[in-house]
Amino acid sequence: MILFVTATRKSRADFDKGPLGQSMRRIDFDKQIILSVTTENSLGLPAVYNQVITEQYREHQAVFLHDDIFSSYRIQDGLEHFDVIGLAGNRE
């Protein structure tokens, strides 16, 4: 199973309208994917991420995402070859 973890300052409704929310809706049929979303977040990302890293998800692959970016392109392929992969981007 793959655990996607994100945090946003946005409300749940606004998150659902954004890039990551829309992308996750397109793949929500896949029961191998778990999405953990912290909305209206005021904590730093490490605090949110660390809350999710628990024994319950020990055997899962974890993907930590910013709420404004999402690409499923080659995530599974990368995780088959590496323990840690990264995805970065910007508006420019």
Please check whether residue 92 lies inside any domain of the structure: no
- Number of structural domains (the chain) is 1
Report if residue 62 sits inside a domain.
Answer: yes
Instruction: Confirm whether 43 is domain-assigned.
Output: yes
- Domain annotation covers residue 86: no
Q: Which of 84, 51, 86 is nearest to 66 (CA)?
A: 86
In a domain, 23, yes or no: yes
pLDDT of residue 69: 65
Give, for all 92 residues of the chain, the pLDDT tens digit: 888 899 999 999 999 998 888 888 888 888 988 889 999 999 998 899 888 888 888 888 888 887 776 555 566 677 788 887 776 655 55
Structural domain boundaries, residue 57: 2-81
Does residue 88 fall inside a structural domain? no
Cα(19)–Cα(37) distance, integer angstroms: 13
In a domain, 44, yes or no: yes
